[in-house]
Amino acid sequence: VMGVFLTTSTHQVIKNSHDFQSKIPSLKGWENTKDVYQPNVQDNGAEYNKEIEIAQDKRFDRLLKSKENPGFLIDTENFTSEGGELPLYIMNEEEKNSIEPDGKTIIVDPNYLKRHHMVTPQSEDVLRYIQHDKYTRNILVPIKFKRYEHKIRKNFTKDFKFKRTLYDDIRKDHAPAHINIIYVKNNSKYPTYNSDAGGKNNKIEAPIAIVETGNTHVRNNAHYMDDCYFFESKKDNPYDTLKPLLKKYGLLDDIISINSVYDTKVDDINDIKKEIIK
Structurally, the chain folds into a number of domains equal to 1
Find the domain containing 81 and state its range: 34-260
Residue 38 has pLDDT above 70, yes or no: yes
Phi then psi dihedrals of residue 35, to 5 deg? -110, 25
73 occurs within a structural domain: yes
Pick the more confident residue, 242 or 20: 242
Band the pLDDT of 227: cuts 50, 70, 90.
very high
Whole-model pTM? 0.88
Phi then psi dihedrals of residue 232, to 5 deg? -100, 140
Helix ranges (DSSP H) in 81-216: 88-91, 110-115, 149-165
Give CA–CA dist 83/92, Å, rounded: 16
Residue 161 has pLDDT above 80, yes or no: yes
9 occurs within a structural domain: no
29 occurs within a structural domain: no
Overall residue count recorded for the chain in this entry: 278
Helix (H) / strand (E) element for 74: namely strand 71-75
Band the pLDDT of 22: cuts 50, 70, 90.
low
Mean pLDDT over the full length of the chain: 90
DSSP state of 117: -
246 occurs within a structural domain: yes
Of all residues in the chain, the percent with pLDDT exceeding 90 is: 73
Residue 54 has pLDDT above 90, yes or no: yes
Band the pLDDT of 139: cuts 50, 70, 90.
very high
237 occurs within a structural domain: yes
Q: According to the model, what pLDDT value does residue 123 have?
A: 98
Q: How far apart are the first and last CA of the chain?
A: 20
Mean pLDDT confidence for 145-155: 98
Mean pLDDT confidence for 226-243: 97
266 occurs within a structural domain: no
28 occurs within a structural domain: no
Task: Work out the number of other CB atoms within 10 angstroms of the CB of residue 235.
Answer: 11
Give CA–CA dist 100/160, Å, rounded: 12
7 occurs within a structural domain: no
